[in-house]
Amino acid sequence: MSVREKKLPVAALERIDDLCAEFERQWQVDSPPTIESVLADLSAEAKESGTAEHDVLLAELVVLEIDYRRRRGDQPRKQEYLDRFPAHHEILEDALAEKERPTRGFTPPTVDRLAELFPNLEIVEALGAGGMGAVYKARQKGLDRLVALKVLPDEFAQDVKFALRFTREARTLAKLNHPNIVSVFEFGKVEHTFYFLMEYVDGPTLRDVVRGGQLAPQHALAIVPHLCDALQYAHDQGIIHRDIKPENILMAKDGTVKIADFGLSRIIDQDHPPTELTATHQVMGTPRYMAPEQFEGARGVDHRADIYSLGVVFYEMLTGELPIGRFAVPSRKVEIDVRLDDVVLRTLEKEPQQRYQRASQIKSDLQSITSTEQVTLAPTMDLSGSQAARVGSDAMTTAIPSSGVSLQQQELAARFYLTRRDLMDRIKASLKPLMRGQLFQIFVGVLLVVLGAQCWAPNTDIPHRVICGGVLHVYGILVIAAGAAVCTRINRIDYSKPVDQIREKLDAVKNVYLHVGALIGFPWWLMWIPATVAFGFDAILHPNSLIPSLVIGVIGMGVSYWLYRRAQRPNRPSAESWRKRFAGHSLAEANSILSEIEQAQIQ
């Protein structure tokens, strides 16, 4: 039986996890134990359970030792381990062989299915899905709190080595406690489904923010230090993300920045490390954001791969573009302090030795740039003498006026940005009923044009039908033009512009709506007469019917015109309230929200 197909109880997986964790700890402090000594430490209880636990532990220890030896520059060979453990050739061949995963796509479970698997959760909705899992919004009934439920594909449930890896890594991730990392509350396996229960972050991803084109450089400078804090904390715990990208960075509505899916790529991919032993170059991550050594499947990918990915994200936040090929420095794309170019470029160095060696160094340099006019940037650990001299000289002798904006002010700006974005979304939502109303008006105008044409076209020899049909035809065109004019001006509002410009656009919508409303509203009092004729009721033209109808229509038009003039008199105290009534609820609500933004001094 393949080592992957062995079924072990949870207690056995936890024993293996503890031994492997101690094995890794000793490697990290440069006192690596031998695999043989760890195997000898198996408890009597474990030995009584048979050879399955021994075999899985051996396979896991071999993979771990190979990983740490590669980090030190060694080139371990499979034959070396076969000679070292001659009685376990089959176990080692299986552990070090390339295993292909199923190629069929992942089908996320339905909300009803998850409700059966997790009766203690109220599954609210699906948030998103990809090849490596799906995320759902849920509520913990007992604690009455919202959580995010991430489930992995069922294919992993058939692999005991993945179960071990999941247990080991998930226990580590659950210990990560940092304000800029999405917390893991619980993890485990239900039937054939591995899952994480995580903190729910109410807000957009950084991808949504960047795609909106509304991220100013000062907002990027406020976000990156928090990402540096999160990465440095995780790296200090020996955890590498390996898939830093805008989709995995969440922006809470209170301005907090959080990194999601920490360590998930390691859990999923560690079973297939890209080494000579497996003859594979399988990699995890998103190619546009991966470090060169990660993309090429090089040995010993470490925390500096996250620093490179952070550099790609930083460049994209500043410029809205990806640093692909021969790219320009950020200061040639946007108006920023040119000293930021050096920070970004050093995160994007192809050789890991030339990059920042710690995420905290990036934060330190950003703080120095935003708070001083002259700054000495933190050196990398492996710059050549000439390069170090160049960087130091440039930093010390180049005096460039700083933005004068403190990090605290930038963080406040970031919160304002998210608040502004939320309020602008509310303005857009408030205008949707008005837009729908105008589209319906255009539809009505088309019907009036058709009705008018049907009235006069077949009856060109009947004067009153030609006149009534012509009136309806012209009126329908006016109704269409009025609706189109309002819709066009609503679509012209650019919500990324300053508030005063948005106010001007919103006032333009209101003015057009009020003027065209009068144009088509007043004649409506009389339009029912030609419409009745168009439907074949010519009796409405009899003097006994026509004269009272005209009298009522003229009175209605007069009263409407009088009210409209009251709304147009700027010197009257009640004029503005009348304008709001004529403009309708949508425009009134949009103006109210815009006033909130102005009062909060959010530009």
Q: What is the pLDDT of residues 108-128, one digit of tens each?
A: 888 888 999 999 999 999 888
Q: In the structure encoding, which two tokens stand for residue 92, read together?
A: 């080692």
- Phi, psi (rounded to 5 degrees) for 175: -85, -10
Note the pLDDT of residue 229. Answer: 94
Note the pLDDT of residue 552. Answer: 79
CA 601 to CA 224: how far, in whole Å? 24
Q: At what angle do helices 304-319 and 359-371 cross, to 10 degrees?
A: 40
Catalytic residue of the set 67, 94, 159, 243: 243
Burial letters 141-168, b for 16+ CB under 10 A, else e? eeeeeebbbbbbbeebbebbbbbbbbbb
- Catalytic (active site) residue 243: yes
- Show the DSSP H helices in 175-237 as ranges: 206-211, 217-236
Pick the most confident of 355-359, 520-524, 593-597: 355-359
Which H, E and C letters describe 298-347, residue by residue? Answer: CCCCCCHHHHHHHHHHHHHHHHCCCCCCCCCCHHHCCCCCCHHHHHHHHH
Average pLDDT over residues 11-36: 79
Residue 502 has pLDDT above 80, yes or no: yes
Contact 95, 55 (CB under 8 A): no
CA 107 to CA 392: how far, in whole Å? 54
Contact 441, 483 (CB under 8 A): yes
Instruction: Round the average pLDDT of the chain to a whole number and report it.
Output: 76
Average pLDDT over residues 533-539: 79
Q: How confident is the model at residue 10 (pLDDT cuts 50, 70, 90)?
A: low
Q: What three-state secondary structure class fits 130?
A: strand
Residue 291 has pLDDT above 70, yes or no: yes
Residue listed under structure tokens 């109808």: 549
Average pLDDT over residues 569-596: 65
Note the pLDDT of residue 425. Answer: 78
Indicate if the alpha-carbon torsion angle 423, 409, 253, 323 is positive or negative: positive
Q: How confident is the model at residue 574 (pLDDT cuts 50, 70, 90)?
A: low
Q: Are strands 145-151 and 193-199 parallel, antiparallel or unpaired?
A: antiparallel
Q: Which of 26-40, 107-121, 303-317, 511-525 has the lowest mean pLDDT?
A: 511-525
Residue 102 has pLDDT above 50, yes or no: no
CA 151 to CA 111: how far, in whole Å? 12
Note the pLDDT of residue 345. Answer: 94
Q: How confident is the model at residue 312 (pLDDT cuts 50, 70, 90)?
A: very high
CA 128 to CA 423: how far, in whole Å? 24
Residue 44 has pLDDT above 70, yes or no: no
Contact 23, 61 (CB under 8 A): yes
Q: How confident is the model at residue 404 (pLDDT cuts 50, 70, 90)?
A: very low
Higher-confidence position of 186 and 561: 186
Phi-psi category of residue 398: left, alpha or beta, with phi > 0 → left and psi -120 to 50 → alpha = beta
Contact 220, 362 (CB under 8 A): no
Q: Give the domains, in start order, of the chain with CATH numbers.
A: 3-96 (no CATH), 111-199 (3.30.200.20), 206-263+271-405 (1.10.510.10), 414-599 (no CATH)
Q: How far apart are the first and last CA of the chain?
A: 66
**Residue 410 to residues 180, 253, 367, 415, 598, Cα–Cα distance (Å):** 17, 16, 11, 9, 19
Instruction: For residue range 136-145, list pLDDT tens digits in order.
Output: 999 998 888 9
Burial letters 326-341, b for 16+ CB under 10 A, else e? ebebbbeeeebbebbb
Q: In the structure encoding, which two tokens stand for residue 188, read together?
A: 């485990």
CA 151 to CA 130: how far, in whole Å? 11
Phi-psi category of residue 601: left, alpha or beta, with phi > 0 → left and psi -120 to 50 → alpha = left
Q: In the structure encoding, which two tokens stand for residue 554, read together?
A: 């003229």
Give me the sheet containing 145-151, strands edge to edge: 121-130, 133-140, 145-151, 193-199, 184-190
Contact residues for 502 (Cβ-Cβ < 8 A; gap 6+): 424, 427, 493, 494, 495, 594
Burial letters 347-384, b for 16+ CB under 10 A, else e? bbbeebebbbbbbbbbbbbbbbbbeeeebebbbbeebe
Residue 265 has pLDDT above 80, yes or no: no
Element (H, E) at 561: helix 543-568
Residue 363 has pLDDT above 80, yes or no: yes
Dihedral Cα 401, 404, 407, 411, nearest 10 deg: -120
Note the pLDDT of residue 103. Answer: 44
Among the listed residues 301, 406, 404, the one whose alpha carbon sits nearest the alpha carbon of residue 71: 301
Note the pLDDT of residue 212. Answer: 73
Among the listed residues 182, 179, 219, 200, the one whose alpha carbon sits nearest the alpha carbon of residue 420: 219
Q: How confident is the model at residue 401 (pLDDT cuts 50, 70, 90)?
A: very low
Note the pLDDT of residue 475. Answer: 85
The DSSP letter of residue 105 is P
Among the listed residues 478, 484, 487, the one whose alpha carbon sits nearest the alpha carbon of residue 449: 478
Q: What is the CA radius of gyration of the chain?
A: 34
CA 221 to CA 413: how far, in whole Å? 10
Average pLDDT over residues 161-176: 73
Average pLDDT over residues 568-594: 65
Q: What three-state secondary structure class fits 186?
A: strand
175 is known to lie in a ligand binding site? no
Note the pLDDT of residue 249. Answer: 92
Instruction: For residue range 217-251, list pLDDT tens digits in order.
Output: 888 888 999 999 999 999 998 888 888 999 889 98
CA 12 to CA 24: how far, in whole Å? 18
pTM above 0.75, yes or no: no
Q: Which of 103-107, 174-178, 199-203, 382-386 has the lowest mean pLDDT?
A: 382-386
The DSSP letter of residue 33 is P
Note the pLDDT of residue 307. Answer: 95
